[in-house]
Chain A
Amino acid sequence: MSIRVRVNGVEKELEVDPEMPLLWALRDVLGLTGTKFGCGQALCGACTVHLDGQVVRACVTPVSRAAGRAVTTIEGLSPDGSHPLQKAWVDLGVPQCGFCQAGQIMTAAALLAKKPKPTDADIDQSLAGNLCRCGTYNRIRAAVKKAAGVSEE
């Protein structure tokens, strides 16, 4: 069965099991490896992508759900790593191992799209599903606020 998905602005036709999670279609079939596998159960957020602008966990989203819709991955967030969140992440030295950060940034990007000036509570609520084992949470909060132009409390 062929499934048409718009990925980072480009139409793709996927010949895959419609039950295949979007994560594996992105990683194994399309070679977009910026989206990570961390838990497979929507518990850690490492696989976060946007489906028509909404945050989804690609590890539990069947690729058939993306049919005819637009998927944005970390590779498509900005052409050159210049999204304000990406810049703030680098400026504040947020990443440690870096593995969860694409998911963190994609979740934060959806938050800022909806709420350009988030509070700490907004950030905590929005990123509650994104684990970071290295423990970069305090810098994540600071970087989201920096990207949003919100001063530190």
Chain B
Amino acid sequence: MKQRLQLISRRSFLEGMNLAVGGLTLGLFSADALANEPSGRMGPKPKTSSEAEERSAPGLNPNAFVHVAPDGTVTIVCHRSEMGQGIRSSLPVLIADELGADMARVRIVQADGHPKYGDQNTDGSNSVRGIYEEMRRAGATARTMLVAAAARRWKVKPEDCEAREHAVFHRGSQRTLGFGELAGEAAKRAVPKPADVKLRPKSELRRVGRELPLLDGPAYVNGTAVFGADIKLPGMLIAMVARPAVMGGRVVKYDATRALAVPGVKRVIQLPEPKPPYTFQTWGGIAVLAENTWAAMKGRAALDITWDDGPNVSYDSRKYRDELVASVRAPGTTVRNVGDVDAALAKAARVVEAEYHVPHLAHAPMEPLVALARVEGDTCEVWAPSQHPQAARSVAAGVLQVPEDKVQVHVTFLGGGFGRKSKADFVAEVVWLAREAGVPVRVQWTREDDLRNDYYHSVSTQRLSAGLDEAGKVIAWRHRTAFPPIGFTFTGANRPAQRDLQQGVTDLALNVPNVRAEACEANAHVRIGWLRSVYNIFHAFAVNSFVDELAQARGVDTREMFLEVLGPPRHVSLQELGVPKLENYGWSLEDHPIDTGRMRRVIERVTTLSRWDERKKDGRALGLAAHRSFLTYVAAVVSVVKDPEGKLRVDEAWVVVDAGTVINPDRVRSQMEGSVIFGMSIALHSEITMKGGAVEQSNFRDYKLVRIGEAPRKIHVDILEGDGRPGGIGEPGVPPIAPAIANAVFALTGTRVRELPLSRTFQALQV
């Protein structure tokens, strides 16, 4: 039977005074249906290199992102993955606004993984900040072609025409032609050169920066949104994999007799062992394939496996902490240097030193990893909640040893990602299993699998030393950081690279004459990966805690200390930073300066909103932290109170964000609110610890996350919007939260917490 799964969600669009109906399609099709529709339905007509073919395609299709059909329907392709950041409610708006489209006649479809879209990696808070202009250009190109077609028909100048409300208008004669009426004619001409396409002035973008509806809201609340595990193919088996508990562990022998005796279990298949560097390879182990998930679970539990854990069995988090401490107590590799720190520390009237520890963390998206694959001959189709469908495609092709164009990767909704779902190891698993089984396979991870086989956020220790002169001014700043880097996963590196250190070490604006930062060695015994805001998490924790400690040491207000260390408003140069170059999240310092003025403004604003002057009052205390990451400036204040039972709780939070140009303010606010909760989990509860080389935590009972009862009474978010290039949004809200909490806890209790999670110090925080 040819079964087609399609979901259409519709919602009312409230735009100004006009009530219109917008349609949105996330089409997910079975392989059978796709065979009949070779171009797939996840995007418009595929872009072809042949101009003749393009001319023969119905409608206007000037690039991979926008298609105008003869009936006027505009299809916009969202090529970034939706994982809660609201990208499907944001990116397409840029195209629609440049085009002058009526959202009621716009269809948004999700792109498959394909190089024609450019980079699709939904990571690094990089969608809007990375392709803001490119998306606008895609819409503007289509508009330019539609306007030119109208002008030719009317024999008028294109400059006298304008596109708005899904039509082209001629100013002089009041004539109008709808986009649909023009699409065919517009498509007959060549796509204009970039120089001939003008972007609209920002004032003409009707929706950008306004309150926009959440396109997928209805599908999320009625159960029809299609996530990774929600697609079923005929004949599909469900796989559960028993994976090695220790990195580098391998199966010595196994007995599948009892597993195969479980009703519904069909196959038992061994997965290939990975070799370092681990990248996105399969993780080894034994898979049980069954007719349903329950049978697969029971079958997996019935496997009898003898493991060889290998050398990483010695990994023990308590011992490793001592290794990291030893590492930062010796000089590391200098990665930033200004003046002479050693001399300044030697002559300082006072030296303040502190060490900070942040544990491994797991991503723990609510949707455990899952993927579906079907392999037929040398072709393969994958359905996956992937942040990086091109990596998934490349990994799948690698597993099958076929060219990438033999692989299609369809992207479902992601039930959270936070960086985990850009790693394609789960796709490698499912593709291998589908080929071996000869039927479609869905690999389903459990929560235990998720927590025990992650690409963990790196464990870290940092040592900060500051020298103060007689007047209390900071004259020396030394920052040593030790953490096993993500590079280990890809190259085996045991020392951070420059691009790792730009996350809060080498890019930190400091109004201090002598500064040195050192990277210290740390060996990895688990796969290391990027987690929402990455190394900024622990660097911001240490730096913001340390500034608070300096304020305490000097007896000045924390806010004043922050502003003093930051220094006057300026654009910080490489020379001032004391680095030869800076990755700066992929942008030059001319395009995205390190602007201390913007940082000062978010600090000043957040301290005003939170009434910083009354920061210790009525049994509550405020804590402040601020951090620039992903080209966005965020300052946060939290208030911590002791409840009647003597437990500490975060009562209220204020976040001020300056991300330059903002497309969708409500999704910016929701990301900041979510960042407060995410940051609270890091601050209060979460840690992954290792013993005998294996993760000690198993599920949400011991990998704790903030629950609703701990959520602050109120989270206030203020957006300082500017006209500048957009910064990131998904991640920059996270780094200031943990240090703001630690600083508030200090202000309230007098106890300085230098190790996360805080529940290690305050049992009272355990809920």
Binding site for B on A (CB under 8 A): 16-17, 19-21, 24, 27-29, 31-41, 43-44, 46, 73-75, 77-78, 80-81, 85-86, 89-90, 93-102, 105, 120, 123-125, 127-128, 130-141
Task: For B673, list chain A residues within 8 Å (CB).
Answer: 135-136, 138-139
| A-B pairs under 8 A by CB, number | 196
A43 and B700 contact, CB distance less than 8 A: yes
A43 CB to nearest B CB, Å: 4
Of A86, A105, A127, A133, most buried by chain B (CB within 10 Å of CB) is A133
Task: For A46, list chain B residues within 8 Å (CB).
Answer: 366
Of B225, B295, B706, most buried by chain A (CB within 10 Å of CB) is B225
A28 and B700 contact, CB distance less than 8 A: no
B364 and A33 contact, CB distance less than 8 A: no
Task: For A80, list chain B residues within 8 Å (CB).
Answer: 222
A97 and B708 contact, CB distance less than 8 A: no
Contacts A/B (CB < 8 Å), 15 sampled = A36-B367, A38-B368, A46-B366, A81-B222, A89-B220, A90-B217, A95-B214, A96-B85, A97-B366, A98-B225, A98-B415, A130-B708, A133-B366, A133-B705, A137-B677
Q: Mark B168-210, 1 if CB is under 8 A from A, else 0.
A: 0000000000000000000000000000000000000000000
B709, closest chain A residue (CB): A124
A101 and B221 contact, CB distance less than 8 A: yes
B155 at the interface (CB under 8 A from A): no
Task: For A81, list chain B residues within 8 Å (CB).
Answer: 218, 221-222
B708 and A102 contact, CB distance less than 8 A: no
B356 at the interface (CB under 8 A from A): no
Task: For A98, list chain B residues within 8 Å (CB).
Answer: 84, 216, 219-221, 225, 413, 415
Interface locus among B336-344, B485-493, B710-718, B742-750: B710-718
B26 CB to nearest A CB, Å: 12
A106 CB to nearest B CB, Å: 10
A44 and B214 contact, CB distance less than 8 A: no
Q: How many chain B residues touch A (Cβ–Cβ < 8 Å)?
A: 67
B366 and A44 contact, CB distance less than 8 A: yes
B684 CB to nearest A CB, Å: 13
Task: For B216, list chain A residues within 8 Å (CB).
Answer: 95, 98
A99 CB to nearest B CB, Å: 3
Question: In the docked arrangement, what's the CA distance between A135 and B733, Å?
Answer: 12
B12, closest chain A residue (CB): A90
Decide yes or no: A95 and B674 within 8 Å by CB, A39-B699, A39-B700, A124-B708 being known contacts.
no
Of B222, B225, B416, B714, most buried by chain A (CB within 10 Å of CB) is B222
A33 and B414 contact, CB distance less than 8 A: no
B437 CB to nearest A CB, Å: 17
A58 CB to nearest B CB, Å: 12
B715 and A102 contact, CB distance less than 8 A: no
Decide yes or no: A33 and B230 within 8 Å by CB, A96-B670, A97-B83, A136-B670 being known contacts.
yes
B148 at the interface (CB under 8 A from A): no
B416 and A37 contact, CB distance less than 8 A: no
B366 and A36 contact, CB distance less than 8 A: yes
A74 contact from B11, B223, B293, Cβ within 8 A: B223
A131 and B366 contact, CB distance less than 8 A: yes
Question: In the docked arrangement, what's the CA distance between A89 and B223, Å?
Answer: 13
A128 CB to nearest B CB, Å: 6
B295, closest chain A residue (CB): A17
Q: Mark B573-606, 1 if CB is under 8 A from A, else 0.
A: 0000000000000000000000000000000000
A99 contact from B214, B415, B447, Cβ within 8 A: B415
A99, closest chain B residue (CB): B415
B83 CB to nearest A CB, Å: 5
Decide yes or no: A38 and B222 within 8 Å by CB, A96-B670, A98-B415, A124-B708 being known contacts.
no
Of B224, B415, B667, most buried by chain A (CB within 10 Å of CB) is B415
A17 and B263 contact, CB distance less than 8 A: yes
Task: For A139, list chain B residues within 8 Å (CB).
Answer: 670, 673
B709 and A125 contact, CB distance less than 8 A: yes
A128 and B709 contact, CB distance less than 8 A: yes
Task: For A138, list chain B residues within 8 Å (CB).
Answer: 673, 711-712, 714-715
A131 and B294 contact, CB distance less than 8 A: no
Task: For A20, list chain B residues within 8 Å (CB).
Answer: 292, 294
A29 and B225 contact, CB distance less than 8 A: no
A104 CB to nearest B CB, Å: 9
B373 at the interface (CB under 8 A from A): no
A97 and B415 contact, CB distance less than 8 A: yes
B677 CB to nearest A CB, Å: 3
B671, closest chain A residue (CB): A96
B418 at the interface (CB under 8 A from A): yes
Question: In the docked arrangement, what's the CA distance between A84 and B483, Å?
Answer: 49
Question: In the docked arrangement, what's the CA distance between A78 and B418, Å?
Answer: 32
Task: For B223, list chain A residues within 8 Å (CB).
Answer: 32-35, 73-75, 102
Question: In the docked arrangement, what's the CA distance between A111 and B90, Å?
Answer: 34
B242 CB to nearest A CB, Å: 15
B494 at the interface (CB under 8 A from A): no
B366 contact from A32, A93, A132, Cβ within 8 A: A132
B318 at the interface (CB under 8 A from A): no
Question: In the docked arrangement, what's the CA distance between A24 and B86, Å?
Answer: 29
B670 and A93 contact, CB distance less than 8 A: yes
A135 and B238 contact, CB distance less than 8 A: no
Task: For B671, list chain A residues within 8 Å (CB).
Answer: 96
B446 and A40 contact, CB distance less than 8 A: yes
A89 and B221 contact, CB distance less than 8 A: yes
Question: In the docked arrangement, what's the CA distance between A28 and B297, Å?
Answer: 13
B7 CB to nearest A CB, Å: 11
Decide yes or no: A41 and B706 within 8 Å by CB, A99-B416, A136-B670 being known contacts.
no
Task: For B700, list chain A residues within 8 Å (CB).
Answer: 39, 41, 43-44, 131
A21, closest chain B residue (CB): B294
B22 at the interface (CB under 8 A from A): no
Question: In the docked arrangement, what's the CA distance between A56 and B417, Å?
Answer: 27
Task: For B418, list chain A residues within 8 Å (CB).
Answer: 133
